[in-house]
Structure 1
Amino acid sequence: MPDVIELAEVARQYDSTGTTALGPVSLTVPAGEALAVTGPSGSGKSTLLNLIAGLDKPSSGSVTVAGERIDRLSERGLARFRRDRIGMVFQFFNLLDDLTVLDNVLMPAQLTGRAGRAATARGGELLEALGVARHAKAYPGRLSGGERQRVAVARALVNRPDLLLADEPTGALDTASGAEVRELLVELNRSGQTVVLVTHDLALAEACASRRLLLVDGRIAQDRRTATANSAAAVAR
């Protein structure tokens, strides 16, 4: 399968002293893979995710996502690329409280000029598939944390992105809601969605991802297949 992500000798420095927040790191993620990025605070997890999302640019090296050298794009080009090719899910949902659930989901489609019957149908299908269709006309503040995260996932998927990025997606949830979101991420990946997950929760990483990357002091300390991947391979055999 083609690689959705390719990082070649990527490094990021943030201050004039030359302190390196990440790298150099080389990494490839093939289509359909679920990668969990773990590590202690300050290890470079968020920096890595921001580079893949085009929210930050490397100090050196190249970042290719879905066949595009995004480190060469202008700010306008990066914004367009994120809208069209990447879906993002955040720890605190980032839903707009003054918009209905369906309108929140449709916002990325509106930003790309795709709003219309097809987008509305797509949004409705996603809400149905994620078990929150009954809340389509409600406002996010009336939903539980787990339901709001499901809405956030629907919003991230509405433009059919090549890549879904999830930044601590269960960090603000109780145990039951976190388990629901974990199962959702597993199902999305089984359907073929490429996922990169940043988490402190090792149980989440083992349950959701076929591969786990451990960052320590901005470097890859470990890159291994998870028990989830091994179990899937055993079933396939």
Structure 2
Amino acid sequence: MIDLRGATKTYDDGPPALAGVTLSVAAGECVAVLGHSGSGKSTLLNLVAGLDRPSSGTVTVNGTRVDQLGEAGSAKYRRASVGMIFQFFNLLDDLTVLDNVMVPAQLAGMGKGEVKRRATELLASLGIDRHAKAYPQRLSGGQRQRVAVARALMNRPALLLADEPTGALDSRSAEDVRELLLDLNAEGQTILLVTHDTHLAANTARRTIELVDGAVARDVVDTLSGATSTSSAGASR
């Protein structure tokens, strides 16, 4: 699903934000990327999302060479293949919950009736259909994040990217979102989770990648019998 080969990203004359990262994520995996501020987590996410290009190396997602896409191609790729969940929800306060969820499908040109049916089904499956006509600012943080998840899933993306999805939530809401991510992954959704929260990573993903100074310092897969680990800047699976 995700394949990075020697991906490096530098800005101006500073040290690389991402330094020759090579890693693969299989379809159906839930992988957590850990690291301190400045470790390269956000840069990695931006490269996979097509929001930025590597200075060198390649980024392939679901068969698409994302690093070779232009601006229009990147936007089309995100609409068709990627769902994104953000720390601060990024919902539109002047739109209702239902309208927020429908936006990605409307941008993709889906028919009006199909858009509404799909959005209504997602809200029901996430337990927030009773808030369909409400505005985001009237909801709790956990409810708003569920709306954001519904929006991210609207176009049936092959890949779900979660950037600190519980960072702005209280512990109870964070646990709800964690369980939601587990359920989605159990249904086959591929998830790349970027977080500094070791508890969230350990209890959501079976595989954890740690970035240090833009390089992969640790790649651990939990199995029924324990964990297997590879410590290398070129770790891959």
What range is the shorter-chain TM-score in?
over 0.9
TM-superposed CA distance for 1:232, in Å, is 11
1:33-90, CA deviations, whole angstroms, 9 ceiling, x for partnerless residues?
A: 0000001111000000000000000000010011000111111100111011100000
Q: Given that residues 106 and 115 in structure 1 are in contact (C-alpha distance below 8 angstroms), is that contact kept between their aligned partners in structure 2?
A: no
Equivalent position amino acid for 2:134 in 1: A
Q: Kindly report which structure 2 residues correspond to 1:53-132, keeping only aligned pairs within 5 A, or say none.
A: 53-132=49-128
2:213 corresponds to 1:213: no
Task: Determine the C-alpha separation between the residues in 1 that align with 2:217 and 2:192.
Answer: 17
SS in 1 for 2:224: helix
SS in 1 for 2:17: strand
Equivalent position amino acid for 2:154 in 1: V
2:182 corresponds to 1:186: yes
Q: Which residue of 1 aligns with 2:7?
A: 10
1:9–1:55 distance in 2 versus 1, CA, 3 Å: same
Task: Determine the C-alpha separation between the residues in 1 that align with 2:197 and 2:217.
Answer: 17
Task: Determine the C-alpha separation between the residues in 2 that align with 1:71 and 1:98.
Answer: 34
TM-score by length of 1: 0.93
Among 113, 126, 136, the alignment partner of 1:140 is 136
TM-superposed CA distance for 1:23, in Å, is 1.5
Q: Which residue of 1 aligns with 2:19?
A: 23
Q: Which residue of 1 aligns with 2:34?
A: 38
2:193 corresponds to 1:200: no
Q: Given that residues 37 and 45 in structure 1 are in contact (C-alpha distance below 8 angstroms), is that contact kept between their aligned partners in structure 2?
A: yes
Task: Determine the C-alpha separation between the residues in 2 that align with 1:28 and 1:223.
Answer: 11
4+ residue segments displaced more than 2 Å: 229-233
Equivalent position amino acid for 1:150 in 2: R
2:46 corresponds to 1:50: yes
Task: Determine the C-alpha separation between the residues in 2 that align with 1:115 and 1:90.
Answer: 27
TM-superposed CA distance for 1:115, in Å, is 3.9
Identity rate, percent: 62
Equivalent position amino acid for 2:197 in 1: D
Task: Determine the C-alpha separation between the residues in 1 that align with 2:52 and 2:175.
Answer: 31
Among 142, 150, 155, the alignment partner of 1:154 is 150
TM-score by length of 2: 0.93
